[in-house]
Amino acid sequence: METFGKILLICDDASYSVYIKEQILNSGVSSVSVEPTDQAGLLSLRQGSYDLVFIKYGTDTDTSLLISELKKIDPDCVMVILFETGQEEKIGNLMDLGIYDALSRPVNIERLKFIIEKGVKLHALLLANRKFSQGLKESNQSLEKQNMLLAKRIEDATTNLSRLYEDLRTTYMRTIKVLAQAIDARDHYTHSHSEDVARIAIAIANYLKLPAKEIEILRQACELHDLGKIGIEDSILLKTSALTPLEWEQIRKHPTIGAQILEPLTFLNGVVDLIRQHHEHYDGSGYPEGRKGNDILLGARIIHVADAYEAMRSARSYRKVPLSKEEAVLEIKRNSGTQFDPKIVDAFLKIVDNL
Ligand SMILES: [Fe+2]
Ligand SMILES: [Fe+2]
């Protein structure tokens, strides 16, 4: 006969142990180990694995404690309680602790066989399930570890990229600024024009309590506002006599040319539109688009006042002696509401004495 399963029997009644062991072996079980005390039974389970554990109720004082100790050693332990007639109620209480089945004395041999067969199969299933769960847990842990590694690598790469981007941005800005300064310097009268415009515009913006981020964009726009003059010939740019209509047409292109040069640099997003609009007039008579009033960006309206004042206060190829401060201020006031936004002129008048 083919045998199966290993069984542990914890029973303090020697003659009953012999009888039960024999009946179990007759059911086709490979081996039965008998232990006379709870402690011996626990030790046995710790040292070997069993498909089923039979416990005679009341072998030692507390069977429920024995059950929980056995579960601690092997959570998949399948337990069957052997009890005397009259102990049914006590056994009923034990069922909640996770025992598999219970058999009363005298033992029904057919039922014993049935319990052993089913119990051994159940234990095999529980073991397979545990192995599967353990495998799943390990794969999850390994996946989690890989995820963490990946996240760390992405984080490092992102940090490096942001640093690179920041470096690139700084280098770009420096290059463009040098270019803008070179354009200012083409006409020796205007070598610090852009920086001076920035200083005045920032004073106005601070007076108007603009947010720091907008002021920074305004500063960059001022530093680059005449970049488009790169596309205008010296013969026009440095001309000392009055410009012809055709030459004026060339000059009027510089805000658009500047914006087009800078447009591909996405980090200068806000700056580009300010440059494009820095010669628009409040009444719509400016260039290149003839925008009017609040349709012109606030920053561009500020640059326009700062630019005009700075130009009047400097010597130019066409006007060797600059206007006095009073004359220039008067000119700005005279054009308030037409060329300039009156609100910006008011702010300018508040700060002009501190420039
Ligand atoms: Fe300009
Ligand atoms: Fe300018």
pLDDT in tens, 216-251: 999 999 999 999 998 888 899 888 888 999 999 999
Residues 260 and 330 in one domain: yes
SS3 assignment, position 97? coil
Q: What is the band of 187 on the pLDDT scale with cuts at 50, 70, 90?
A: low
Please name which ligand lies nearest the alpha carbon of 254: 1
d(C-alpha 3, C-alpha 22), whole Å: 14
- Residue 274, pLDDT > 70, answer yes
CA of 285 to the centre of ligand 1 (A): 15
Please name which ligand lies nearest the alpha carbon of 316: 2
Residues 227 and 79 in one domain: no
What are the DSSP E strand ranges found in the chain? 4-10, 29-35, 52-56, 79-83, 101-104
Nearest to 218 by CA among 295, 305, 285, 294: 305
d(C-alpha 270, C-alpha 216), whole Å: 10
CA of 258 to the centre of ligand 1 (A): 9
Q: What is the band of 182 on the pLDDT scale with cuts at 50, 70, 90?
A: confident
- Distances from the Cα of 180 to the Cα of 15, 153, 300, angstroms: 108, 40, 18
d(C-alpha 227, C-alpha 307), whole Å: 14
Q: Which domain holds residue 62?
A: 4-134
Please name which ligand lies nearest the alpha carbon of 278: 1
The domain that contains 115 carries what CATH number?
Answer: 3.40.50.2300
**Considering its fold, how many domains does the chain have in total?**
2
Residues 37 and 112 in one domain: yes
* pTM, entire model: 0.59
Q: What is the band of 92 on the pLDDT scale with cuts at 50, 70, 90?
A: confident
- Residue 199, pLDDT > 90, answer yes
Q: What is the mean pLDDT of residues 309-316?
A: 91
Residues 197 and 338 in one domain: yes
What the block records as the tokens of 90 is: 């006590």
Residue 178 pLDDT: 84
Residues 129 and 203 in one domain: no
- Residue 188, pLDDT > 80, answer no
Residues 116 and 222 in one domain: no
Pairing, β 4-10 against β 101-104: unpaired
Where is the domain boundary, 134, 153, 179?
134
Q: What is the mean pLDDT of residues 342-353?
A: 98
CA of 278 to the centre of ligand 1 (A): 7
Where is the domain boundary, 134, 149, 168?
134
Write the DSSP assignment of 201-215 as a string of letters: HHHHHHHTT--HHHH
Residues 248 and 339 in one domain: yes
Residue 85 lies in a domain: yes
Residue 240 pLDDT: 86
Residue 189 pLDDT: 64
CA of 176 to the centre of ligand 1 (A): 16
Q: What is the band of 14 on the pLDDT scale with cuts at 50, 70, 90?
A: very high
Q: What is the mean pLDDT of residues 59-64?
A: 81
Q: Which of 79-93, 179-193, 223-237, 333-347 has the highest mean pLDDT?
A: 333-347
CA of 61 to the centre of ligand 1 (A): 101
Residue 291 pLDDT: 98
CA of 60 to the centre of ligand 1 (A): 102
Where is the domain boundary, 134, 154, 172?
134
Q: Look up residue 16 and give its amino acid.
A: Y
d(C-alpha 302, C-alpha 299), whole Å: 5
- Residue 340, pLDDT > 70, answer yes
CA of 246 to the centre of ligand 1 (A): 17
Residue 153 lies in a domain: no
Residues 113 and 206 in one domain: no
Residue 119 pLDDT: 93
**Unique residue bearing structure tokens 């020697």:** 14
90 contacts 59 by C-beta, under 8 angstroms: no
Residue 62 lies in a domain: yes
SS3 assignment, position 1? coil
3-state secondary structure 251-318: HCCHHHHHHHHHCCCHHHHHHHHHHHCCCCCCCCCCCCCCCCHHHCCHHHHHHHHHHHHHHHHCCECC
Nearest to 186 by CA among 220, 231, 154: 231
3 contacts 30 by C-beta, under 8 angstroms: yes
**Unique residue bearing structure tokens 């997003």:** 269
Residue 287 lies in a domain: yes
Residue 71 lies in a domain: yes
Per the document, the length of the chain is: 355
DSSP 337: T
d(C-alpha 255, C-alpha 261), whole Å: 10
d(C-alpha 194, C-alpha 177), whole Å: 10
CA of 328 to the centre of ligand 2 (A): 15
Query: Can you say whether the dihedral through the CA atoms of 225, 231, 236, 239 is positive or negative?
Result: positive
Residues 215 and 325 in one domain: yes
Of 111-120, 143-152, 232-241, 323-332, least confident by mean pLDDT is: 232-241
d(C-alpha 189, C-alpha 219), whole Å: 21
Residue 97 lies in a domain: yes
Q: What is the mean pLDDT of residues 91-118?
A: 89
Please name which ligand lies nearest the alpha carbon of 228: 1
Nearest to 119 by CA among 111, 129, 107, 130: 111
CA of 338 to the centre of ligand 2 (A): 19
The domain that contains 245 carries what CATH number?
Answer: 1.10.3210.10
Q: What is the mean pLDDT of residues 16-33?
A: 93
- In this structure, what is the dihedral angle of CA atoms 116, 118, 120, 124, given to the nearest 10 degrees? 180
Residues 96 and 194 in one domain: no
CA of 307 to the centre of ligand 2 (A): 5
Residue 321 lies in a domain: yes
**Unique residue bearing structure tokens 């390990």:** 138
Residue 318 pLDDT: 75
Q: What is the mean pLDDT of residues 252-265?
A: 93
d(C-alpha 54, C-alpha 21), whole Å: 10
* Average confidence score pLDDT of the chain: 92
CA of 278 to the centre of ligand 2 (A): 8
Q: Residues with beta carbon < 5 A to ion ligand 1?
A: 226
CA of 91 to the centre of ligand 1 (A): 98
Residue 213 lies in a domain: yes
Of 130-144, 171-185, 276-290, least confident by mean pLDDT is: 171-185
Residues 346 and 207 in one domain: yes
Please name which ligand lies nearest the alpha carbon of 309: 2
CA of 56 to the centre of ligand 1 (A): 103
Residues 198 and 124 in one domain: no
